[in-house]
Structure formats: structure tokens, C-alpha cells
Structure 1
Amino acid sequence: MSPFRTLPVLAASAVLTVLAGCSAAPDTAFPTTPTTAATTAAASPGTPSPGVTAVEQPAAPTKVAIPSVGITSSLMKLGLNADGTVEVPPADQGMTAGWYTGGSVPGAAGAAVIIGHNDTRYGKAVFHDLREIAKGADITVTNTRGETVHFTVTGTESVSKKTFPTEKVYGATKAHALRLITCDGAFDAQGHPVNNLIVYATLD
């Protein structure tokens, strides 16, 4: 059950739930993809010239672990929907988080984004306890080659769906950054949480 709505590129957006589940209502939202150097590079890796050795592409992430809050999940790949919104994990796979392929690969320069539900109509989801994460916590991401990179949490913020900091989360950066996003906040009259929780982390 998708918690998103259609918004223009670079518009603010957020994850919402209905009671215990993420909502598919048309007024719900999640960040659309901004046009950044990171997304352009991801979409257009280029073709090596004859005689030039190709640079090995970063390996895709397959697993995320946050020991301090008891979170471990495989990672599915998330792209864009036809309307330009970011895909989210299907509600019936709520215990699995997803890596947004339009951003950076975790560990590479730029902003890597991992998205997970808090709850779905099926119950508790993968990032249900993400709100308990603390500054300084370790986040581990493993890739298809079995390599592991560690990130340290630098901060968190709960933001209104109406003022989601799209550029701050998805925008170009020289840092080797990771962002985790899920549902958060009080419920509105329709039973939708009004905020997104964003966790910011940088490569150790």
C-alpha cells in the first residue's frame, strides 16, 4: 500500500499511514526525485572510449543493519513510478526496506537513500523502531560483493509532509552520506501521520 502522492519534481512530500498502515490515499506523499548531479550520474554512467579501462561500478547494496535498534533487512531496488514519485516497498513486503537507485550507492560520494515503512495494513514494518535511533549509532550496509560499509548517525529530524526538505535529502553533496526515511508524527483527522522521520548518517 503506497504512502505517496503525485507531486512536482523538487516539491515537498512525506510518508503517511492510516491508523496502523501506510496509506494509499491520493493526498499522501513521499519525496519525488530531484534533478541532481547524483541522479544524472546514476542514470548515465557513460561508455568508456576504446583503449580506456572501464572503472568498476559500485556494487548495489543488498542488506542494511542497525544493531542499536534491532533492525536488519535485505534491500530491494526502488526506482520511480510513472508519475515521477519514488517507489516504495509493497505493503505486503513491509518488513523489507528499499534502496532508491536514483541516488548514490551507499559508500560512494553523494546521498544514498533507503526507504522503509513504519507500519502497513499488515502490521509492524521494518522501520517501526527507527524512531529510537540515537546520534552516533552505527548503520551497516552490505553489497552484492559481500563488502560492508559503516555509517555513523549524525542526526535525525521529524518533518512535516508539507515541508519535506527534498533538496537536503536528495540533493548533490560531496559527502558520502546515507539517509533513512520512514513515517512519523501525530495522526491527522483521517488517521494519517503528518510527518516523515529522516535519519542522517555519514560514512565512517
Structure 2
Amino acid sequence: MRRIGDTAIAAVTVVALGTAVWLLGAGSGTHAPPQPAAAEGRPDPAEERLTAAALEPSPPTRIRIPAIRVNAPLMGLALTPSGSLDVPPAEKKNLAGWYEAGTTPGETGTAVVAGHVDNTEGPAVFYDLGALRRGAVIEVDRQDGTVAVFTVDAVEVYSARAFPDDKVYGAAARPELRVITCGGGYSKTTGYQGNVVVFAHLTGSHAVTSRPAAT
């Protein structure tokens, strides 16, 4: 198991974050979610050096990723009895979750956000996560009225059998964020074969401004 804060997360990263039932119904699988290119797994050292000062702890309320049109509320996630990270209700396709026993986005450490790639009706909140590129911006609204702004360092896909717990969940000396969904191909017998993981670090913050809320 990997420990985040004071709580251990099992090697199985999350409960299923997608079903692909709708994809199978479509036949050929030509509408499969995008997977990251190999080049997106190589961080830019210059970008990584630009890190903003850590924020005080505050629970997140919403995540926005403009490059892939994500604007979603966040719910708190706990661990299942087996030690895996739980997931948002599958029927709420535009809802993401954060690991509330761990680091809050913006404070020093590794914060974790997870969401579905699809449900039985079609694409869900993080369907296009694999299309994200290095340098993209992720914004997280927080209860204290601040927005934590992260810059994407890398986007990678891992098989379930070779999921790098230490790399994804390991402690960080600066404010970092991981965004996770299913990916890595699909099997009719075992489901999605792995996970897409976005690695990002804090590069700024500002006050929440009034904007229409997506549901």
C-alpha cells in the first residue's frame, strides 16, 4: 500500500472509473477515449521550476480544465474496505471527487482527484483527460475563496498491473495535483486495462470570481 497523509491507499488505485458499456454498444470502438501521447510523459524542467507558494489547507469545491472543457463540482472521496480509493456515483457523469483524507489542492503535498471516463450513457467528466498536454492549466476552486492554479507537467497511462504507486501517490515537497481516470485500452472481460494520470504542480492562485456554474 501507499500512504498519503495518515491513510494508506492500496495498490489498486481506484474502484472502476468507467464501464465502456455505451462504447461496446456502438460497435467498433472508434469512439474510445483518447490516450496520452508518449511525448506528454516527459516533463519540461523549465516549467517545473516555476512553483507558487503553498496555500493554507482548504477543501476544494470545483475543478476546471479549460483545454478539455471540464467544469465540474467536487465531492469528498474515502477508501473502500479493500483500501482502494472510492469514486463518485457513476450516474453523475459530471461529478469528480478528491481524496479528502489527504492533501487539499494547493497545500504542500500530493492532492488526488478522480472521476469517471464514461458511464452507461456515454462520455463522463474525464473522458478527454488523455488528450491533455503539458503546460495546460487546471484550476481548483476552494472553500476559502481562493482558486489554486496548476500547470500540467505530464500525462501518462499505466496498466493496472504496473501502476506506479510511489510516483503517483508519493509525498511531494511542493503543492502537486494528480488527476486520475480509467484508460489504457478495454477488455470485455476485465474492463479498462489501466489508468490515465495527469501530473501537475501549483503555479499560482487568485480569488474566486463570479461565474456561471456548470452542473
| TM-score after normalising by structure 2 | 0.70
The corresponding residue for 2:95 is 96
For residue 91 of structure 2, give the secondary structure of its aligned residue in structure 1: helix
For residue 193 of structure 2, give the secondary structure of its aligned residue in structure 1: strand
The corresponding residue for 1:194 is 193
For residue 110 of structure 2, give the secondary structure of its aligned residue in structure 1: strand
Please list every run of 5 or more consecutive structure 1 residues that lacks an aligned counterpart in the other structure: 1-7, 22-55
Task: Classify 1:10/1:86 alpha carbon distance in 2 versus 1 (closer, same or farther; 3 Å).
Answer: closer
The corresponding residue for 1:11 is 11
Higher mean displacement: 185-194 or 78-87: 185-194
The corresponding residue for 1:181 is 180
Q: Counterparts in 2 of 1:47-196, with a 5 A limit?
A: 58-190=57-189, 192-196=191-195
Shift of 1:57: 6.1
What is the CA deviation profile of residues 30-61 of structure 1, one whole-angstrom value per residue up to 9, with x for unaligned ones? xxxxxxxxxxxxxxxxxxxxxxxxxx962100
Contact 2:17 2:115 in 1 (8 A): no
| TM-score after normalising by structure 1 | 0.74
Please list every run of 5 or more consecutive structure 2 residues that lacks an aligned counterpart in the other structure: 1-7, 23-54, 204-215
Name the aligned partner's letter for residue 90 of structure 2.
A
The corresponding residue for 2:21 is 20
Percent pairwise identity: 38
Higher mean displacement: 168-177 or 194-203: 168-177
Contact 1:184 1:195 in 2 (8 A): yes
Contact 2:56 2:107 in 1 (8 A): no
What is the CA deviation profile of residues 113-134 of structure 1, one whole-angstrom value per residue up to 9, with x for unaligned ones? 0000000123221001111111
For residue 130 of structure 2, give the secondary structure of its aligned residue in structure 1: helix
Contact 2:17 2:118 in 1 (8 A): no
Shift of 1:174: 0.6
Higher mean displacement: 157-166 or 191-200: 191-200
Shift of 1:170: 1.3
Using the alignment, how far apart are the partners of 1:93 and 1:149 within structure 2? 24
Stretches of 4+ aligned residues off by more than 6 angstroms: none
* Structure 1 vs Structure 2 CA RMSD: 2.2
Contact 1:18 1:190 in 2 (8 A): no
What is the CA deviation profile of residues 141-194 of structure 1, one whole-angstrom value per residue up to 9, with x for unaligned ones? 010122111000000110001111112111211121000000112112426121
Name the aligned partner's letter for residue 66 of structure 1.
I
Task: Classify 1:192/1:142 alpha carbon distance in 2 versus 1 (closer, same or farther; 3 Å).
Answer: same
Using the alignment, how far apart are the partners of 1:109 and 1:9 within structure 2? 19
For residue 91 of structure 1, give the secondary structure of its aligned residue in structure 2: coil
Using the alignment, how far apart are the partners of 1:176 and 1:127 within structure 2? 22
Higher mean displacement: 12-21 or 61-70: 12-21
